[in-house]
């Protein structure tokens, strides 16, 4: 303790000796030279350029950019980095929309006697697209899985990229927009099944609420059986506001709800126009504000004793009814 105090006192005395006296300029530190910012012959110091300040922080980011330089807008992503299930992984590799960093396959599935055709196909496709394949003990693989039954296959990939709503509602020659909006579905199995139906029925895009709803998880991707690779999706901050934009684009907004007076099968030629089908949440159905944004509410007629269908089953019926109407008209022409 005494030694530290003496060292501290000496440091203070050294500081006092180094203090400049009145009327004298402080001497420059040894080993350093002072650079004048003034031009030769006197004059004002040269002002710093924007490039000088632009380099601040370059050591942290690795990028030097002057103020005003264009910066690339980051893409909005939906998740889905971990894909489980044989069909989902196979479609991920075939689609080729995002980079696959690695594919895990349970060691027992690669046995020559028990290997299935789809597992062999997954390995072959992965190698053809230069995605590393790793044989993993089944116990380790299932510990890594986030769905109930990964089927001995997991892939790790870049996240899915979101499609902008403005792109979805854009009119294209010869094809009226066909969209589906999901109002607060929270069960991942239901959302996956809905996406699978949308792909089969030729839906152009799906609107998903950003809050109070399930998003793309391994369970959703597995239930969708690869549909997440092909169906464009947009996350919207508020579904009622998004539906207002859809209506402004000249697209009919049709809600599906049990309490409607009009049947789904009565929409007729309206299916040929731009359509956005709105599906309600499990149990609660359409929210009040969402219902108010709909141009029409329709229901699926129930001929038995039950009053409603599961939302994914209702999505299958409704999307294929619209697809049937459109296909029948096209064939007549």
Answer whether residue 10 is part of any domain.
Answer: no
pLDDT digits over 53-71, tens only? 333 333 333 444 444 444 5
Element (H, E) at 157: strand 153-157
Residue labelled with tokens 């693989």: 141
Answer whether residue 72 is part of any domain.
Answer: no
Answer whether residue 222 is part of any domain.
Answer: yes
Residue labelled with tokens 């053809």: 128
Answer whether residue 264 is part of any domain.
Answer: yes
State mean pLDDT over 57-86: 64
Stretch among 24-28, 234-238, 275-279, 323-327 having the lowest mean pLDDT = 24-28
| 255 and 278 together in one domain | yes
Residues 6+ apart with CB under 8 A from 36: none
| 186 and 260 together in one domain | yes
User: Pick from 111, 127, 160: which residue ends a domain?
Assistant: 160
pLDDT greater than 80 at residue 3:
no
CATH of the domain at 120: 3.30.1330.30
User: Pick from 126, 160, 194: which residue ends a domain?
Assistant: 160
Answer whether residue 63 is part of any domain.
Answer: no
User: Pick from 131, 160, 189: which residue ends a domain?
Assistant: 160
Q: What is the pTM of this model?
A: 0.75
| 100 and 179 together in one domain | no
Domain extent for 129: 77-160
| 236 and 153 together in one domain | no
| 311 and 170 together in one domain | yes
Closest CA to 231 of 46, 91, 33, 49: 91
Sheet holding 82-84, edge to edge: 82-84, 153-157, 100-106, 133-136
Answer whether residue 110 is part of any domain.
Answer: yes
Q: Are strands 233-236 and 133-136 parallel, antiparallel or unpaired?
A: unpaired
pLDDT greater than 50 at residue 167:
yes
Q: Are strands 233-236 and 262-263 parallel, antiparallel or unpaired?
A: unpaired
Answer whether residue 210 is part of any domain.
Answer: yes
CATH of the domain at 193: 3.40.1280.10
| 154 and 204 together in one domain | no
Token reading at 331: 């064939």
| 196 and 320 together in one domain | yes
| 151 and 167 together in one domain | no
Token reading at 277: 């089908």
| 175 and 82 together in one domain | no
| 288 and 211 together in one domain | yes
Task: Report how far Cα 297 is from the mean position of its chain's Cα atoms.
Answer: 30
Answer whether residue 37 is part of any domain.
Answer: no
Nearest-angstrom CA–CA distance, 58 and 129: 35
Structurally, the chain folds into a number of domains equal to: 2
| 223 and 286 together in one domain | yes
pLDDT digits over 152-165, tens only? 999 999 999 999 99
| 285 and 145 together in one domain | no
């Amino acid at each position: 303790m005494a030694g530290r105090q003496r060292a501290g006192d000496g440091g203070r005395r050294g500081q006092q000796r180094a203090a400049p006296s009145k009327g004298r300029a402080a001497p420059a530190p040894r080993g350093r030279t002072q650079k004048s910012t003034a031009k030769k012959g006197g004059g004002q110091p040269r002002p710093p350029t924007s490039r000088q300040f632009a380099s601040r922080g370059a050591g942290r980011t690795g990028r030097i950019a002057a103020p005003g330089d264009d910066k690339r807008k980051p893409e909005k992503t939906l998740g889905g980095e971990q894909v489980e299930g044989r069909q989902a992984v196979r479609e991920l590799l075939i689609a080729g929309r995002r980079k696959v960093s690695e594919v895990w396959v349970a060691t027992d599935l690669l046995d020559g006697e028990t290997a299935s055709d789809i597992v062999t196909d997954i390995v072959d496709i992965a190698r053809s697209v230069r995605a590393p394949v790793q044989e993993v003990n089944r116990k380790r693989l299932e510990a890594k899985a986030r769905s109930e039954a990964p089927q001995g296959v997991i892939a790790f990939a870049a996240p899915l990229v979101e499609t902008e709503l403005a792109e979805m509602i854009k009119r294209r020659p010869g094809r009226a927009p066909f969209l589906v909006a999901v109002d607060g579905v929270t069960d991942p199995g239901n959302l996956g099944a809905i996406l699978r139906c949308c792909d089969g029925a030729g839906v152009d895009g799906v609107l998903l609420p950003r809050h109070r709803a399930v998003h793309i998880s391994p369970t959703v991707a597995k239930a969708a059986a690869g549909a997440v690779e092909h169906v464009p999706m947009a996350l919207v901050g508020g579904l009622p506001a998004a539906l207002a934009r859809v209506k402004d684009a000249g697209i009919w907004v049709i809600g599906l709800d049990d309490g409607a007076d009009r049947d789904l099968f009565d929409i007729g030629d309206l299916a040929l126009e731009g359509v956005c089908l709105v599906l309600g949440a499990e149990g609660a159905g359409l929210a009040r504000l969402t219902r108010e944004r709909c141009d029409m509410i329709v229901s699926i007629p129930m001929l038995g004793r039950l009053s409603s269908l599961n939302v994914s089953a209702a999505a299958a019926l409704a999307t294929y009814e619209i697809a049937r109407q459109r296909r029948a008209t096209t064939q007549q022409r």
